[in-house]
Amino acid sequence: MAQSRDPNITQVGEVCTLNPLVITGDDQVEWALELMRQRAVRRLPVVNAVGHAIGLVSWGDVTLEVVRLHG
């Protein structure tokens, strides 16, 4: 809405990120954290082998898992 678009008539496709950075469900947690650091993002869509969204992982999700794994 920063471009002065009316949220009542703007379609999601008009404002979505094209070709977003994604990870797969098979990627390692450390890799997700590294991508988030490199690209300065706090959330990554998770896709399956054919590119369909299966979830969303957040910086908080990943850091909690890293702490759990590494104490």
Look at residue 12 and tell me if it is in a domain.
Answer: no
> CATH number for the domain including 31?
3.10.580.10
Any idea which residue has 């977003």 for tokens? 20
Tens-place pLDDT, residues 20-66: 899 999 999 889 989 999 999 999 999 999 999 999 999 998 888 87
Q: Read off the tokens for 52.
A: 């369909």
Q: State phi, psi for 30 to the nearest 5 degrees.
A: -60, -35
Question: Hey, which bits of the chain come out as E strands?
Answer: 23-24, 43-47, 53-58
Does residue 23 form part of some domain? yes
Domain ranges, residue 63: 19-70
What SS3 state is found at 45? Answer: strand
Model confidence band, residue 71 (pLDDT cutoffs 50, 70, 90): confident
The CA distance from 23 to 42, in Å, is: 13
- Count of domains observed in the chain: 1
Look up residue 28 and give its two tokens. 């390692």
Q: What's this model's pTM, rounded to 2 decimal places?
A: 0.74
